[in-house]
Every structure is written in structure tokens, then in C-alpha cells.
Structure 1
Amino acid sequence: MARMTKAQREWRPGMPKKRRSVKVLFASVVLLLEAFVVFFGTLTIFGLRRDELPGGLVLGLGVALSVLLVLNCAVVTKRWGIAVAWVLQFVIIAGGFLEPAMFFVGIAFALTWLYGVRTGARLDKENIERDRLQAQWEKENPQPTDGRQRDGG
């Protein structure tokens, strides 16, 4: 038998499905895109600066940063996870000291991150209010027990 999650064990018929956070979705998408860009940026810096910088160090730090970005997706639901992601944004921007194009890429991603987190939080608040109003309406307009639909159709 497959292991069930806590949400699966606690589910009962008629329970509304918990809405997923738009903020977490947006944040995770941006972090994953950044992980790919950092990985390929690492390969670029490794290839362009092979004679100037120790290759193992460049590859190690770049891959480590990519892995941190991916792992951060698991904790963006927590306040400290968002703070860690902000630190990672500045680390990506600082990559511009190794490859100047990363200043542009890092700033563009930091702005994307800011937009995603702020817009996601706003949409989550709107969804909470929408769900509250829907629950209030359903309480004030109970479903008929004789099988008819509410809208008379």
C-alpha cells in the first residue's frame, strides 16, 4: 500500500480542496529558472576564464549555487525561505564581477523575483477574500436537499 500524506489521511468527502499559494508558485518558478541560468552561466565563466580562475572552484561554486536555488523552492513557504532567496538574488548579481553580463541577468532576475513575490502575495490575499465571500454566500444560500440546483436550472 502506498504511503499517504497527512492531507490525504485527513481528507473526508465534501471537504473543499485547499487552495495552493500563487506566491509560492511564482517564487518556485523564478528560482528554478535562475538555477538553470546560473548553471549555464557557470559553464560560460568556466570556459571564458579557464586560464584566470581555478576551474574546480568556479564549477563547484556555480553548481552549489544552482543546487541552493533548487533546494530553496522547498522552503519558500516560510518567511526565512524568502529571506534566503533574497540573499541568493544578490549572490547572482555579484556574479557580475566574474562575468559582467551577470549584472544585467542578476538584476533582471531580482526584479522578476520581486514582481513574482509581491504579485503572488496580492493574489493570495484576493483568493482568501474570494473564498471567504464564497463560503458566506453558500452559508446564506444553502443547497436544496431535494436535488434541485440553486440557480433554478
Structure 2
Amino acid sequence: MRRSTKRMFAATTLICEAMLVFFATLVAFALEPIGQRHTSYLVVGGVLMLLCVLCAGMLRSRAGYALGWVLQAVMIAGGFVVPMMFGIGVAFAVIWFFALRIGARVDHEKAEVARRLADNP
């Protein structure tokens, strides 16, 4: 069984994003005045963390990659709550893009090498 480099890169990116969401959730919660803290930030942050982890497990299908793109957009939109997330979200979207692109290239090159080695015993 051959492991996909693309899937490995994408899953690593999503797990790192889950950790990022954890810390961004704490920041959003702490930015509210003490008397007005909204537990909705904690709920939304928890759901986003769970979605990142679940998406990392769904990367065997195209739906997992599509959900990954949706999560990238949600991370960027998180900038409306924590302004620094605009920059961090864009940075992770770029990382996601290159994880998919370079991972697919490496998988293709590995398959080509395997094919050539099989042709020349």
C-alpha cells in the first residue's frame, strides 16, 4: 500500500489549523469584556477544530479536499472576530494550496519512478 504525499501534506496542514483554531478561540473569548463573554465563541471554535480533524480523516475522497477549501475560507472569515486571522487565514490557505499542488506532484513523480523501475527489471 502506497501512502499519498498529497494526503499527508493536506492532513498535516489541517491538524495545524485545528491547533490554530484552538488558540484563536481563546483569543476571541478573552477579547470580550468579562461580564459579556460569549460561550458561542467556544462552541464555534470547538466545532471548527472538530471539522478540521474530521476533514483530515476524509482526505481519501474528493469531498474531504472540497471541505478543506471551505475551511480555508472560514479561517479567513475568522478575521471578522479576531482581525489577525485575516493574515493567518490567508497564510494557511496558501500553505493548503501548495500542500495539494506539491503533494500531487510528488505522488506523480513517485508513480513515474515506480513505473520505470517495473519496466526495467
TM-score category, normalised to shorter length: over 0.9
Q: Normalising to structure 1: TM-score of the pair? A: 0.76
Gap runs ≥5 in structure 2: none
Cα deviation for residue 59 of structure 1 reads 0.3
Partner Cα separation in structure 2 for residue 68 and residue 90 of structure 1:
13
Cα deviation, residue 49, structure 1: 2.0
2:93 to 88, 98, 110: 110
Alpha-carbon distance between aligned partners in 2 of 1:98 and 1:55, rounded to the nearest angstrom: 12
Q: Tell me, what secondary structure is at the counterpart of 2:3?
A: coil
- Aligned match for 1:56, one of 18, 27, 39: 39
**Alignment CA distance shift 1:53-1:118 (3 Å):** farther
Partner of 2:111: 128
Q: Residue type matched to 1:79 in 2?
A: R
Query: In the alignment, which residue of structure 2 is the partner of 1:100?
Result: 83
**Percent of aligned pairs sharing the same letter:** 43
Point out 4+ residue stretches in structure 1 off by more than 6 angstroms: none
Specify every segment of 5 or more residues in structure 1 that has no aligned partner in the other structure, as ranges.
Answer: 1-17, 139-153
Change (3 A) 1:103 1:128: same
One-letter amino acid of the counterpart of residue 76, structure 2: I
Q: Name the amino acid aligned to 2:94.
A: L
Deviation per CA, 1:82-125: give whole Å up to 9, x if none: 00100000001000000110000000000000000100001101
Q: Tell me how large the CA RMSD over aligned residues is.
A: 1.4
State TM-score, norm by structure 2: 0.95
Describe the shift of the 1:114–1:53 C-alpha distance in structure 2 as closer, same or farther (beyond 3 A).
farther
Name the structure with the higher helix share. Answer: 2
Distance 1:62 1:53 in 2: 17
Q: CA deviation at 1:50?
A: 4.1
Tell me the residue number matched to 1:46. Answer: 29
Equivalences, count? 121
Q: Which has the higher contact order (CA 8 A, sep 6+)?
A: 2
Counterpart in 2 of 1:24?
Answer: 7
